Amino acid sequence: MSGLKRIVAVAANTFRETVRERVLYNLVFFAVLMTASSLLLGNLSIRQDEKIVKDLGLASMDIFGTFIALFIGVGLISKEIERRSLYPLLAKPLTRSEFLLGKFAGLCFTLFVNIGLMSIGLIVTLLATHHRADPALLKAIYPIFLGLILVVAVALFFSSVASSSLLATLWTIAVVVAGRFSDVIRNMRQVSEVPDWLVTALYWAVPNFRNFDVKNAVVYGDPVPVVALAWMTAYAIVYSAVLLGAARLAFGSRDLH
């Protein structure tokens, strides 16, 4: 139980750090974007205008969230090591696993708050432009959040194994970009020089972020079955757990110079 309290303490501090470091300032851009879109799109037909606001809102949540998850995530551990701010903390009754989990949970909470506030912004924009607050939007927002959790797990993993924040950033960007364009990896089979087994291994090793993209389906009113959402949840949980486990192994035995 006390372990959980320590994880919550680290998470709370991580959340406070992101707030104090002005990470949530992206919300200002989001607000400006939403306001501008609602003002500029007034001339379009009713359905068009609603779709564009929803599209913009969901895409912004995804993009801003990914940037935060990636760039804050890679610093979660490596920055602490470089600045030596974790030295006094690890000498306290705080295990390295608790520290990792606390950092992970803290950034996920930041993303949750961020996405929550953006969702409210999107709903307000829809209402302001005389549309209804479509509850089906949640079916697109929830997978976006799952995808962001997975980005944090990837970033945290590289943050724990890389010797510098820069390397961690480069690797994380590579994996996130590859995961967002996983079809490209699959199509590499057509390039004769690349062995099939390598393409298959790469395709399965890199998390497939396209699984979480149901934005178009929701905007165009297509159904998103609950079973699909359950699968996404399981995928995100299992993949994140594996990455956190690997991060724990690497970080747990690492000398902190």
Partner 1 sequence: MNVSSSTPTPALSFAHLSKSYAVGFLARQRRAALTDLTFDVARGEVFGYLGANGSGKTTTIKTLMGLVFADSGEARVLGLPLADPAWKARVGYLPEQPYFYDYLTPREYLDYVGRLFGLSPSVRTERANALIEEVGLQDSRDVAVRRFSKGMAQRLGLAQALLNDPELVVLDEPMSGLDPIGRSLVRGVILRLKREGRTVFFSTHILPDAETLCDRVALLREGRLVKVGRLDEILERDDRNLLEVLVSGGDLAGIPEASRTGRMGERATLQVTEPELLATLEALKRGGSRVLSVQPIRQSLEDYFMKEMGKGGGGPA
Give the interface with partner 1 as residue ranges (CB under 8 A): 2, 5-6, 9-10, 13, 16-17, 20-21, 83-85, 87-95, 253, 255-257
**Choice between 90 and 136, CB closer to partner 1:** 90
Residue 254: CB minimum distance to partner 1, A: 9
**Choice between 88 and 225, CB closer to partner 1:** 88
CA distances from 172 to 60, 99, 182, 184, 198 (A): 20, 20, 15, 18, 20
Contact 134, 215 (CB under 8 A): no
**Choice between 99 and 157, CB closer to partner 1:** 99
Residue 21: CB minimum distance to partner 1, A: 6
* Residue of 62, 171, 56 whose CA lies nearest to 122: 56
30-59: string of b/e by CB count within 10 Å (b at 16+)?
A: beebbeebbeebeeeeeeebbbbbbbbbbe
**Choice between 10 and 232, CB closer to partner 1:** 10
**Choice between 10 and 175, CB closer to partner 1:** 10
**Choice between 84 and 130, CB closer to partner 1:** 84
**Choice between 9 and 202, CB closer to partner 1:** 9
* Residue of 119, 17, 8, 9 whose CA lies nearest to 68: 17
Residue 107: CB minimum distance to partner 1, A: 15
172-201: string of b/e by CB count within 10 Å (b at 16+)?
A: bbebbebbbebeebeebeeeeeeeeeebee
Question: How much helix, strand and coil, in percent to the nearest 5, is found in the chain?
Answer: 80, 0, 20
Residue 3: CB minimum distance to partner 1, A: 10
Query: What are 115's two structure tokens?
Result: 């996405």
Long-range (24+ apart) CB contacts under 8 A made by 203-206 are: 206/175, 206/178, 206/179, 206/182
Task: Round the CA-based radius of gyration of the chain to a whole number and report it.
Answer: 20
Residue 91: CB minimum distance to partner 1, A: 4
Residue 113: CB minimum distance to partner 1, A: 17
Residue 253: CB minimum distance to partner 1, A: 7
